[in-house]
């Protein structure tokens, strides 16, 4: 399984992914689920993926190395919308190659989704969610975050506290708390984490950080959040009876 969250905010983007893949509980591995294409001053494009690893790796490689006869790559697209179209096209290309065989084994096997965020010079900063049919939606002020993978455990805190106006620092903190809730409740989501922060119009990554078990800040957040929740629980009034 996987948990990735992407946020489109007034000041920019926050993207966070875990790195556990599993095909059964005794076949667990660690793969980065975030891929970054950055050309400072011109473009920042980040892609996070969830689902069948063979498919997501094939898609990412096609975006990187070139699609079809034209050989177009994601570092040449003119806009984030075109980038989302290219991801969708790559998903469909992989489907046309292996989709039939996969679905013959199990109708649910062609299972993949992506979060694509970034900005290209002169265009808007955007965030898309791309589905396994290659179709996609974009985030907006009313729905400033998307999640893929094991999304439910980490959703309540985002529903409560994240808005389009949340600043990048607080949003990053929220993403990590949301991830922490997921890590605690689901064994198939695991460290290390990849965190990326992008400030609109900077056209370069503001922060990219791999967070492992020993990360001092993440440990502080985990412990501090647990303590805060326990204190909050104590301070609320008891059920009257």
Residue 135 or 185 having the CB closest to a second copy: 185
Q: Examine residue 205 and tell whether it contacts a second copy (CB under 8 A).
A: no
Residue 89 or 155 having the CB closest to a second copy: 155
* 139-158 binders of a second copy (CB under 8 A): 152-157
Asked if 46 contacts 35 with a C-beta cutoff of 8 angstroms, the reply is yes
Residue 86 or 215 having the CB closest to a second copy: 215
Task: Report the residue from 26, 69, 106, 159 that binds a second copy according to the rule CB under 8 A.
Answer: 159
Residue 86 or 158 having the CB closest to a second copy: 158
Residue 61 or 111 having the CB closest to a second copy: 111
Alpha-carbon distance of 139 to 88, in angstroms, equals 16
Q: Examine residue 232 and tell whether it contacts a second copy (CB under 8 A).
A: yes
Q: Examine residue 240 and tell whether it contacts a second copy (CB under 8 A).
A: yes
Residue 31 or 217 having the CB closest to a second copy: 217
Q: Examine residue 230 and tell whether it contacts a second copy (CB under 8 A).
A: yes
Q: Examine residue 220 and tell whether it contacts a second copy (CB under 8 A).
A: yes
Sequence-distant (≥ 6) Cβ neighbours of residue 129 within 8 angstroms:
6, 113, 114, 115, 116, 136, 137, 138, 139, 146, 148
Strand partners of residue 139: none
Strand partners of residue 9: 12
Total residues at interface with a second copy (CB under 8 A): 45
Task: Report the residue from 85, 99, 173, 200 that binds a second copy according to the rule CB under 8 A.
Answer: 173
CB of 77 to a second copy, least distance (A): 28
Q: Examine residue 181 and tell whether it contacts a second copy (CB under 8 A).
A: yes
Q: Taking contact as CB under 8 A, which single stretch among the options 39-47, 63-71, 80-88, 167-175 is the one that binds a second copy?
A: 167-175
Q: Examine residue 97 and tell whether it contacts a second copy (CB under 8 A).
A: no
Q: Examine residue 47 and tell whether it contacts a second copy (CB under 8 A).
A: no
Residue numbers at the binding site for a second copy (CB under 8 A): 152-157, 159-161, 169-170, 172-174, 176-177, 181-182, 184-185, 195, 197, 206-207, 209, 217, 220-221, 224-226, 228-241
């Amino acid at each position: 399984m996987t948990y990735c969250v992407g946020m489109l905010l007034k000041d920019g983007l926050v993207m966070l992914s875990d790195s556990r893949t599993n095909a059964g509980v005794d076949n667990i591995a660690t793969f980065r689920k975030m891929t970054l294409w950055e050309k400072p001053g011109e473009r920042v494009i980040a892609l996070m993926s969830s689902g069948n690893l063979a498919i997501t790796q094939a898609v990412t490689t096609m975006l990187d190395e070139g699609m079809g006869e034209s050989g177009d790559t994601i570092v040449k697209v003119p806009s984030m919308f075109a980038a989302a179209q290219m991801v969708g096209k790559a998903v469909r290309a992989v489907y046309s190659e292996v989709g039939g065989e996969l679905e013959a084994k199990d109708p649910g096997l062609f299972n993949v989704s992506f979060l694509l965020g970034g900005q290209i010079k002169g265009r808007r900063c955007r965030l898309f969610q791309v589905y396994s049919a290659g179709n996609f939606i974009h985030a907006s002020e009313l729905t400033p975050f998307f999640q893929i993978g094991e999304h439910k455990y980490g959703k309540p805190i985002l529903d409560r506290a994240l808005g389009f106006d949340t600043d990048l620092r607080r949003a990053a903190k929220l993403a990590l708390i949301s991830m922490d809730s997921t890590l605690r409740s689901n064994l198939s989501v695991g460290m290390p984490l990849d965190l990326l922060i992008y400030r609109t119009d900077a056209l370069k990554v503001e922060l990219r950080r791999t967070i492992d078990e020993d990360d001092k800040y993440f440990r502080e957040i985990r412990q501090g959040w647990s303590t805060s929740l326990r204190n909050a629980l104590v301070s609320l009034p008891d059920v009257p009876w």
